[in-house]
Structure 1
Amino acid sequence: MAEDKEPEDAGEAEDQEPDESEDAGQTESVDLSRFYASAFKPFHGYVWNQNAWIGKMLAESAAVRMRPVLPRIVVDSPLIRMTAFTENLRRQMAGLTGFNDMVRKALEPLTATYRPPQWHSVFASLGDVINRLYPENLRDVRPDLDDLEELLVEEGIPLMWVPGPQTVRALLDAPDAAARRRIIGRRWKGIVNDCEAVLEEVTHPDVQNARGFARDVARALRAGHTSAAQALAANLLDSLLQRHFDQAARVRLTKNDFKTTGVKFKFEDYKFKVACTFAPVWYAHAKYFPKNGDPIPRTFGRHPSAHGVSRTQYSRINAVYALMLVTSVIKFFDTELP
């Protein structure tokens, strides 16, 4: 079949011989009721409680420290600036990036004469929170929420756990979606290596079967069987959602009516890891109805992979997207399942 004519790049990882060992068989499903309840709480829950505590502490500290020297009515007082800072703090915490630098800069007028040692522990604890939220491939890059939303929701590029940090950085620095697609095309071998490395670390017994099939996708890609790789990955994605989510959760994560309603995946409806992992899943489930004359999309989609088999939909780049997607979802369940 015709492939995207793009130069190849070995990417971040060296090519390795695939492991041909058999994976464990399918295990009994576990009780996921508590997991469902947790997954669909707003992802702000990771940060808002701590954010509220910090905001309250900052406001009280400013009020106590500044009250003796502030006039009763001052337009540009440190306390007023602190109130504005607290609101800015909420946005920055949602972005989860540059927070420490922002806090230090905003507090410069206050901390010039007042440097309590407890600030150091506050900054350290915020760094720990960010590290717990970001998977390893994003910790050094630390993209902000706007960048994440553009790539995950607008373009359906998986970024959780894969690809590696250098490729993530290149994708964030690229000027547009077409350039990002070319990057994935050039670095496909390295991205396959990244996916295999993440799958190698998957240990939860309830995703071992899926892990084995994902590794089959990687092996098929390496061998040049791109159509087989994409078809298997698309069906594996569907199987993962069927196995690990009830119908209501599954519909909520995959109902993509953007073409008709203009409603996009809403980050604020989910916890951070859920939002970042499943936004590209939502993107991949864009409605496609051949009977309505819908054109076959060039970007990877679960429905056109099943109902629009063609040279337009099936390509090496789309197979790489699909492998990245199932790898992210498998690793999510590996880390989150009880």
Structure 2
Amino acid sequence: MTFIDPSRGAKTMNFAEMRTWTAAWDTYDSAVHGVLRMPTFYPVVRHENWWGCGVSLTDLRSLAREHGIPVAWVPPPGVLRRLVEADTVHAAKLKILAESQQEILDLCVEKHAECTDEWLEEEADVAGKALAAWQDGHLQAAAALALLGSEDLMYQVTRVARAKSYAGLKEAAQKEPDGWFQHAQYTLAPLEPLYTQYWPKNNDPLPESLSRHAVVHNFPLEHLNEGHSIVAVMLMISILRECQQRAEEVRHDMLLA
């Protein structure tokens, strides 16, 4: 089967072309069509790590909302494909993450290196320390640092006032993607299960997906397992890289003003 990029050779893109091209781009699967160069305009409407994954937007959003696994900026496309193809039980998804640990770490390091805006200097420093801990073999320590260190970023990227607390973050994550540039909403989707209500004093059952409240209020090490630890670091990198993207857009608009 051959994949033809409809944007090949184009130097501009209008909205009609955007609609046509994205429909074609979303069908590209590198495992079927072979490795192809990413189109120039692809990152305008899709996340770079989706190129060639062969996964539908519906399945990407389900992976993020149902399992709390980031899908924006990280992990690599091959990992996304394997995650979606795996059994629907949560443990199967975590197994894929554990088996793909080095691939994921490498892309996290690459995306972190792209986060250079001075507005994000402190957050990028925290993320760098989390990655260093992971590289040194201290994955759970990396996860704890990433989970707590990314909270300010979550408020930044959702534009939710801290007065609304965690309910506001969860509400922002639940919004359905819409508009021309809906891919940005996929960055937020994992926050929905992350902030599932959990109170140990009420004997609430431990959430299946990574839970911020379980880590902070109870800290059961069996919950912060290898898979969930990878999710925590991925989440920080995903949100940090999204903030970098938005900072670049703001600075570009400032130059044009």
Whether 1:255 aligns to 2:170 is: yes
Alignment match, 1:191: 104
Deviations 1:37-73 (A, max 9, x none): xxxxxxxxxxxx946x999xxxxxxxxxxxxxxxxxx
Q: 1:210 aligns with which of 123, 146, 161?
A: 123
Alignment match, 2:239: 329
Q: Is the 8 A contact 1:96 1:144 kept in 2?
A: no
Amino acid aligned to 1:240: L
Q: Is the 8 A contact 1:242 1:250 kept in 2?
A: no
Give the distance between the partners of 1:275 and 1:336, measured in 2 at CA.
13
Deviations 1:1-56 (A, max 9, x none): xxxxxxxxxxxxxxxxxxxxxxxxxxxxxxxxxxxxxxxxxxxxxxxx946x999x
**Does the C-alpha gap of structure 1 residues 222 and 307 become closer, same or farther in structure 2, counting only changes over 3 Å?**
same
Q: Is the 8 A contact 1:137 1:163 kept in 2?
A: yes
Unmatched tracts of structure 2, length 5 or more: 1-13, 29-38, 251-257
Give the distance between the partners of 1:54 and 1:196, measured in 2 at CA.
31
Whether 1:166 aligns to 2:66 is: no
Instruction: State the SS of the aligned residue for 1:224.
Output: coil
State, as a whole percentage, how many aligned pairs show the same letter: 25
Q: CA deviation at 1:288?
A: 0.9
Amino acid aligned to 2:220: S
Alignment match, 1:232: 145
Give the distance between the partners of 2:168 and 2:71, measured in 1 at CA.
17
Alignment of 1:80-95 (within 5 A): none
Alignment match, 1:310: 220
**Does the C-alpha gap of structure 1 residues 242 and 131 become closer, same or farther in structure 2, counting only changes over 3 Å?**
closer
Rg larger for:
1
Give the distance between the partners of 1:292 and 1:328, measured in 2 at CA.
32
Instruction: Name the Cα RMSD after superposition.
Output: 3.1
Q: CA deviation at 1:203?
A: 1.9
Whether 1:220 aligns to 2:149 is: no
Whether 1:147 aligns to 2:59 is: yes
TM-score when normalising by structure 2:
0.73
Q: CA deviation at 1:197?
A: 1.1
Deviations 1:251-307 (A, max 9, x none): 565236xxxxxxx82324685233100001222111111221112235311111111
Alignment match, 1:293: 203
Alignment match, 1:109: none
Alignment of 1:10-25 (within 5 A): none
**Does the C-alpha gap of structure 1 residues 95 and 304 become closer, same or farther in structure 2, counting only changes over 3 Å?**
farther
Q: Is the 8 A contact 1:226 1:315 kept in 2?
A: no
Give the distance between the partners of 1:94 and 1:288, measured in 2 at CA.
40
Once structures 1 and 2 are overlaid, which stretch shifts more, 276-285 or 223-232? 223-232
Instruction: State the SS of the aligned residue for 1:171.
Output: helix
TM-score when normalising by structure 1:
0.57
**Does the C-alpha gap of structure 1 residues 246 and 299 become closer, same or farther in structure 2, counting only changes over 3 Å?**
closer
Q: CA deviation at 1:151?
A: 0.5
Give the distance between the partners of 2:185 and 2:74, measured in 1 at CA.
15
Give the distance between the partners of 2:73 and 2:177, measured in 1 at CA.
21
Alignment match, 1:266: 175
Number of paired residues? 220
Give the distance between the partners of 1:131 and 1:318, measured in 2 at CA.
28
